[in-house]
Chain A
Amino acid sequence: MAEHENGTSTGRGGHSRRRFLRGSGLAAASAVLTSQANVALDEAKAEAQAPDGPEALSGDVTLTLQVDGRELSCVVEPRSTLLDTLRNRLDVTGPKRVCDRASCGACTVIVDGDAVYSCTTLAVSCKGKAIETVEGFETGEGGVPHAFHQHDALMCGYCTPGFVTACKAFLDANPGKEPTLEDVKRGLDGNICRCGTYIGVFEAALAAAKTMKGA
């Protein structure tokens, strides 16, 4: 356990990889990179201004997270991932654990507006941040889940919450625009489906974009 004892509550440990992967895609690269750069800058400023420097955590830590607008508390370890905290402690099981290594996107949640892989984000790093999961999304007409349902963009459905979340984050990041099929493919390239539902996913994403633009 020694390697975990000095875990620190930094603001950016967990989801930098996702940002890198997203940023490395060709799609909407400038918009994504600009927003990433701003976030990184804000974080750097906040860290510099923190009066006591980084906080050292070890053992059992009581943590309160803002999940889908609710304050949820539980006991975690500094090494506990956001995903395992949501699933194993808070019963927020929409995000799924599939690869557990930031490869497949099934665990995607939105933290302070950014889509992140929650399997490689430490829970303690999310204190005070707004965490949105698929469970909090609007399910009525006009919502992304509805579009996925209507276009049969799912089969076993285990990757689906991640795709729905990535899709919502992608559309939210490009408000008022109607993406092309290529845009959608690039925007969702951080997720993997095994049943092979991609065609339905593309149709659903395009339909949801259309509805959101019209809204």
Chain B
Amino acid sequence: MASWPESTRLIGKSIPRLDGLAKASGRAKYPSDIRPEGMLFGVLLTSPHANAKVKALDLEPARAMPGVKGVIALATAGETNVIYQGQEIAAVAAETEEKARDAARAIKVEYEVLPHVVTERQSTAEGAPKAFAAGNSRPGRAQTAGKPDEAMKGADATIEATYELPVITHVCLEPHGLTAEWKGPDSITVYASTQSVMGVANDMVETFGVDASKVKVLTEVMGGGFGSKFNADVWGIAAAKLAKEAGRPVRMFLDRAQEHLIGGNRPSAKATIQLGATKDGKLVAMTAETSGTGGRGGSNFPLPYVYHVPDRTRSHTEVFVNCGGSRAMRAPGHPQGCAVMEAAMDDLAHKLGINPLEFRLKNLAETDMVAGGINRTEIYHEQVRRGAELIGWGRWKPRGQGGDGPVKRGLGMALHQWGGGGAQDKQVACIVNPDGSVELRSATQDIGTGARTILAIIAAEVFGLEVGRIRSNIGDSTFPPGQSSGGSTTSPSMAPPCFDAAVKARDELFRRIAPGLEAAVEDLALKDGQVLVKGEARLTWEQACRKLGMMPINVVGVFAQGLSSTGVGGCQFAEVTVDVETGVVRLKKIVAVQDTGLILDMLTWRSQVYGGVIGGLNYGLFEERIMDEPTGVMLNPDMEMYKLAGATDIPEIVVEAHDTPEMRARGVIGVGEPPTISTAAAIGNAVANAIGVRVPKWPMSPMNVLDALAAAEGKA
């Protein structure tokens, strides 16, 4: 079993990211910034209808427009059934983007518009049009453990409620897209905004039948993915086809409306749940009927979540709508499952008259073993105790005691978990050159997490060099196979082979310079840019590397057991004020406690947790895809009516790393997803605590808050 060094100089410290200044100074070139010589601008024409047959498609008017160099159809007249607004119809490449847009508009498409269903309500309404041949919904079989109906009868208190969460979209700031440049008839270079250079490369190989050795996908930096950017997509393939047709490079990125419509989304969730407990606060049973929509895709989510419910049954129905398909989004399924479960837990605690913090701790499984012999239940207990201190849970009062005036104050909390863990088949190359320069290479990419920087930190730790001395060269599909950036798997997949590569390179350096130093290999060490022999500095790093002559060190590191792990927990607390006259919720403070094993860079780790919390507060307070039932179109495919937090919406956020020797010993675990899971749940519970009424629908918008208050007063 491999292990990380016991005492570290760099690992776990706060180290600014390597590409931070390039990004902050506008000098970093994103895929959407790159303009190869002769590049044309691509524009995608998409369907304005949610459900329609393409009866006729005439590209000729576009071809006749000035500056147009290529037009291709992405739909077939008489064959294509458009099943959501935004579905791809055609693509154009022209000398300027303005001219390409004109040309796309000039394409003549004749649609036979069909009745649509664009919301869960519309899709499941009696007499709803049959928008999908196999039916508008697909009920799943009940998943049952024990005898929930019988057990429920033994409950001293039960709640039954329906909770709902909306569809939200990823809103990657750099839209999906790529720039395709053919380097010859059978060789292509692609600058892609992607979470997977290898995924996009594979799409190009499969689509164009070119040799994998002649496909290069480059992603030096990219502007956000959140789970939605693993493939070339229809528009990326279209760019490559247009580039081939025109004999010139083509840039094709979605516009903002298209990004909302077809760039992916997080499915909605609805749960009618009955939860029962004994009077001393032990859960006995749960029955739940849930549903959700991911367009025509899946929408399932974990339930029960975190807590142990001995007898339970749950069935999930997929509801299909004429909207763009869902894609993985930061902790797929977990934010929904967490919000539903934590709302039910809170409501039941209220009914029982038990402090919801105590109620939660009482209902964790006795043992919840995760990798490395860790009982997560014990971790939760420590995390909840710490979080409670940081938020001041001692101030908690039962519901409805949020203050006498119209602005009520409340506290809420929620727990979450994530698996994560890494792949075991990834590689990192480490090259040490005779001039002393060090390069790491792998076909992974940095989507903003700091992946580039953590690899350099690991190598710098091993070589006794400063982090800035390491060139961390990733985002190139031709390098040794690297991990796609999803599921919080990048760090645990890439850190072990990186460490292995650096150790192998160091050992080879020692082997090659030891004879000249008349020293035994085991007497050599590296520290502060020096080679030590039996603890005494004998050569600088550069002098040592010069002894490599004309032959650099070039080794490949692979996975090693013991350096990474899986299975984390965390909890979050929220303090809010709610104006019961306007329904406006303001966040006062959020506390996030999180464990993720060995933290490689405390600075970028904290940024990830802040980012997760802020993503979660967007989900809790603001975000919602609003579909217009009569017309079938999205009403807010922009960044004005699709609400995201701005600077003045950000409360005090306290991030607490559960960073103990026991956690560090587990090795590396990713942190991208876990801290975004429970924020919306904690906010929902804080709102209920403030106003004394459960707001059953997210986001906690003025409308949903006022509706809940009106319902409670019997006015709904």
**Residues in chain A within 8 A of chain B (CB atoms):** 1, 77, 79-80, 84, 87-88, 91, 93-101, 103-104, 106, 133-135, 137, 139, 144-146, 148-150, 152-161, 164, 184-186, 188-202
Contacts and interface: CB of A to CB of B under 8 A. Distances in A.
Given A94-B26, A152-B17, A103 B640 contact: yes
B23 A157 contact: yes
Contact of A101 (B24, B41, B256, B448): B256
Q: Summarize A's interface: helix, strand, loop or mixed.
A: loop
Contacts of A155: 224, 448-450, 607-608, 611
Contact of B613 (A148, A154, A196): A196
Contacts of B486: none
Nearest to A146: B21
Q: For A100, A154, A185, which residue has the most chain B Cβ atoms within 10 angstroms?
A: A154
B640 A156 contact: no
A202 B450 CA distance: 20
Interface in B503-521: none
Interface in B162-207: 171-174
A137 B21 CA distance: 12
A127 to B, nearest CB: 18
Contact of A189 (B226, B606, B647): B647
25 contacts: A80-B98, A93-B30, A94-B25, A95-B26, A98-B173, A106-B173, A135-B25, A145-B24, A145-B25, A152-B20, A154-B448, A155-B449, A155-B608, A156-B223, A157-B20, A157-B448, A158-B173, A164-B24, A185-B650, A192-B639, A196-B612, A198-B645, A198-B650, A199-B610, A199-B650
Given A103-B639, A156-B173, A158-B174, A148 B607 contact: no
Given A158-B224, A196-B615, 10 more contacts: A1-B102, A88-B96, A88-B97, A100-B255, A134-B26, A155-B611, A156-B173, A189-B647, A189-B648, A202-B647
Contacts of A190: 646
Contacts of A189: 646-648
A41 B621 CA distance: 41
Contacts of B41: 88
B483 to A, nearest CB: 17
Nearest to B614: A196
Contacts of A185: 647-648, 650
Given A96-B174, A155-B611, A202-B647, A79 B256 contact: no
A33 to B, nearest CB: 19
A146 B20 CA distance: 9
B24 A154 contact: yes
A80 B28 CA distance: 24
A93 B607 contact: no
B355 to A, nearest CB: 30
A172 to B, nearest CB: 17
A150 B223 contact: no
Contact of A152 (B16, B27, B614, B650): B16
A17 B178 CA distance: 31
A56 B61 CA distance: 28
The 5 A-B residue pairs with the shortest CB-CB distance in the complex, in nearest-first order: A94-B26, A196-B614, A158-B223, A156-B448, A157-B23
A55 to B, nearest CB: 20
B48 to A, nearest CB: 18
Given A152-B17, A164-B24, A194-B171, A201 B647 contact: yes
Contacts of B23: 154, 157, 160
Q: For B25, B98, B221, B450, which residue has the most chain A Cβ atoms within 10 angstroms?
A: B25
Given A96-B223, A153-B24, A158-B173, A186 B639 contact: no
Interface in B607-657: 607-608, 610-615, 638-640, 644-648, 650, 653
A184 B639 contact: no
Given A1-B102, A106-B173, A201-B647, A196 B610 contact: yes
Given A146-B21, A194-B173, A99 B35 contact: no
A195 B611 contact: yes
A200 B646 contact: no
A152 B29 CA distance: 19
A215 B612 CA distance: 36
B518 to A, nearest CB: 44
Contacts of B255: 100
A192 B644 contact: yes
A104 B173 contact: yes
Interface string B397-425: 00000000000000000000000000000
A43 B620 CA distance: 44
